Structure 1
Amino acid sequence: MYCLASVTSDGTHWVLRRNCSVTPRQLGAMYALLSALSLVVAGFFWTHGAWMVLPFSVVELVAVGAAFLVYARHATDGEHICVCRGRLVVELEDAGRLSRIEFAGHAIRVEAPSGQRSLVSVWGGGRSAEVGRYVRADLRPVLAQEIRRALREP
């Protein structure tokens, strides 16, 4: 049986993050090293008369830099779900933007995902949120069950 939550004195928390093997800082260092190496090789060929290597190297570095930037913007994406003091708080971070939705404890409905690609739905008080993006599809029903259980506890 899985337990995705951590229980503290102030409530039950789920911190769900993207599984990233490289941090944005490591990615920046890797890009700087790649750029330096590529420009040294291009400079060598440029000094030996193959001047077209340098512009292609710059185009390559711009394309790789753009791809790294897109990756780095989403490397810290995640969800923080908290049940504390009879309230459910859902914080979603996407590309550096943080959105926060609060639900009143007595009127919250939590629905487990119906299919492999669907997420856990939470709604109440005219608001709704979908959570579980960073949890394996087979563990999303477990997440829904844990949220329901935490909402029932005093």
Structure 2
Amino acid sequence: MKHAFAWLTALAFTLPHISTAQGETMTQDERAVLAVIETMTHSFQAGDIATVMNSYEPQATVVFEPAAPVSDPDMIAQMFTGMAALQPEFSYPAGHEVIVNGDFAIHIAPWDMIARTPEGAPVTQSGLSVAVLHRQPGGDWKMVIDNPHSARLLASHP
């Protein structure tokens, strides 16, 4: 038992800082990661695909459809352009979780989206976004992997 306590104490001092949710005290890196997500979301809603693409590393992978990752930057831009035409509006009702470890970070957040078909009919969708970000040589953060459909794994779990 004495060894377990010593091990847990040592582990507590070596773990990366974890922010359990938006609104709690966040480090500068955690705020910077969250800013990337917020900028990307607002730019996507505004149809500013150039700024959306600037949120990603050139070799990034985005999972637009479950189990169908896309890594070609031209295809990613084309997919965002097509989806922006639906005038999506996103909200993050449970907030954001950001975990930073050195030059890597993960962002996790449930999301809700309302959009409009070309005919004007409303479309709603919800999901769980999991994004991996990497600190760039200049200090900025960019997404490397973006999977907004992670919730499908939970739905298939008994």
> How high is the TM-score relative to the length of structure 1?
0.23
User: Which structure shows the higher strand fraction?
Assistant: 2
User: Which structure shows the higher helix fraction?
Assistant: 1
